[in-house]
Structure 1
Amino acid sequence: MTSSDRTRKAVLYRMVMEKHVCPFGLKSKHLLRSEGYEIEDHWLRTREETDAFKREHDVDTTPQTFIGGERIGGYTDLREHFGKPLPDPDATSYKPVLAVFATGAAIALAVSLLAFGTPFTVRAAEWFVSITMMLLAMLKLQDVESFSSMFLSYDLLARRYVPYSYVYPFGEWLAGALMTAHALPWISIPVAGFIGAIGAASVFCAVYVQKRELKCACVGGGSNVPLGFVSLTENLAMLGMAIWMLARP
């Protein structure tokens, strides 16, 4: 920390307008407070006032923080100044798919507890898989076009028949919904088994045979989830669920 930081005072300029409050300004204010700074908070209340401030200080964006008369910069610059880790938009992460799995498990256990008086039942395990299928499909359906573009980079069937990349999330959602309700197994079982088998083969081929480093479309297009073991597990779970539903009494 520089000697100017010892004053523990900071000057913050941020947009606070009637219909817009800059989120990065709020983050900068919170970060400064968490670091023990007294803040001189200047609100830029109009677009004209904001533009004039940017011209005066020769900056392109707000918020802007000053400490000891020295301009630190925006929120990212402020994090760097305090030695905080900076977000990497290109970094891969399993967090999105793990969040979906955790949510699916929580819903399944909660419904099992309500229905049977205990969260740990065979039906809860079935619901975990089927509900997770629906949650993953929901994320894909937010932007089917983006999903299809990412999906086409590795799915064996979609690369031969492009419309499959658009149908896939609808099939996954339908199979999950029917399996959750134990309805129309003559539809849900073949759909889940088919897309699960093709998906597992595609992931295995791309990752373990061709050794390609790709991003998975499992939580929708534009995600940074790496294609690999988790993606393979997702597809094997669908295939396993289809086999289980077929074999169960």
Structure 2
Amino acid sequence: MDRALPKTAALYRMVTAEHICPFGLKSLDLLQREGFKVEDHQLKSRAETDAFMASQHVETTPQTFIDGSRVGGYDDLRRYFHERVADPKATSYQPVVAVFATALAMALAATWAATGTLMTIRAGEWFVAFSMCILAILKLQNLDTFSNMFLGYDLLAQRVVRYAYVYPFGELLAGVLMIAGGPFKWIAIPIALFIGGIGAISVFKAVYIDRRELKCACVGGSSNVPLGFFSLTENLMMVAMAIWMVIR
């Protein structure tokens, strides 16, 4: 019996000295994973790319053809293979999960390095402090976009706009000093109580009293994380950690 001929697809993608189209590479990878032999047509210049798009009456590359019929771009190709296509406007908790999972892994690793064991009180303290530092970094990537979103619900920032620019630095400072411990905790405690307390009240009012549907600024101002439980958790963690450090 003759062996079945391999499935073939033609891919046209932009590959120039200035730009290699990432969606072209993703399309090539997806086709190969689906068992296709790919005719990889690389468009080597802007002029060549424009000429191809004009000839096919399309506005973007890459473009994939299977059995002589045009499938379309990368998202169209994913739909062709019945794979999920992400909605850029859809809400997602992935950024928050990534932060807390990374902070937990770092806390456990640091505890193991320091004590030779995983399950310690210090691991829990470091988890909170590392989470605060990572969240602060995400906010500090673009203070303007963070402040725009933060001003939508924080009660103090709405009265004192500059507080929206100070908040991430306060969160970072408190987190770093909590990691350092010792006498530095007496600086971290009031900062965490202040910003965490105001933040918790602001989120609770916006979400559970006013019933507003807002995006959370906790992982920066460009995320699609909805304001709610995780936003409240971030602030309550700071308050709880500050109280715990006082008691301890």
- TM-score when normalising by structure 2: 0.94
The AA in structure 2 aligned to 1:59 is: V
Report the RMSD for the aligned CA atoms in angstroms. 1.3
Say if 2:227 is the partner of 1:227: yes
Partners of 2:184 and 2:112 lie apart in 1 by 25
Percent identity, please.
63
Distance (Å, rounded) in 2 between the aligned partners of 1:12 and 1:82:
15
CA contact (8 A) 1:196 1:235 kept: yes
> Is 1:246 matched up with 2:246?
yes
Secondary structure of 1:88's counterpart equals coil
Tell me the CA shift for residue 53 of structure 1. 1.0
Deviation at 1:20, TM superposition (A): 2.3
SS at match of 2:13: strand
User: Which AA in structure 2 matches 1:221?
Assistant: G
For 2:229 and 2:57, how far apart are their aligned partners in 1?
48
Partner of 2:184: 184
Shift of 1:82: 2.0
Aligned to 2:61: 62
- Residue 193 (structure 2) aligns with: 193
Q: Which residue of 2 aligns with 1:3?
A: none
Q: Does 1:211 align with 2:214?
A: no
- Are the aligned partners of 1:7 and 1:68 in contact in 2 as well (CA < 8 Å)? no
CA-CA distance at 1:7 after TM superposition = 7.7
The 5-angstrom pairing of residues 1-249 of structure 1 reads: 8-182=7-181, 183-248=183-248
Q: Deviations over 1:80-122 (max 9, x none)?
A: 2222211101111111011111111111111111111111111
Supply the AA of the counterpart residue of 1:172. Answer: E
Q: Distance in 1 between matches of 2:48 and 2:76?
A: 22
| Distance in 1 of aligned mates of 2:156 and 2:57 | 53
CA distance in 2: counterparts of 1:162 and 1:73, whole angstroms: 47
- Where structure 1 has 5 or more consecutive residues not aligned to the other structure, the ranges are 1-5
Partner amino acid, structure 2, of 1:192: A
- Give the drift of 1:161: 1.1
Residues 125-166 of structure 1: per-residue CA shift (max 9 Å, x gap):
111101110000000000011000000111111111111101
Tell which deviates more after alignment, 218-227 or 71-80. Answer: 71-80
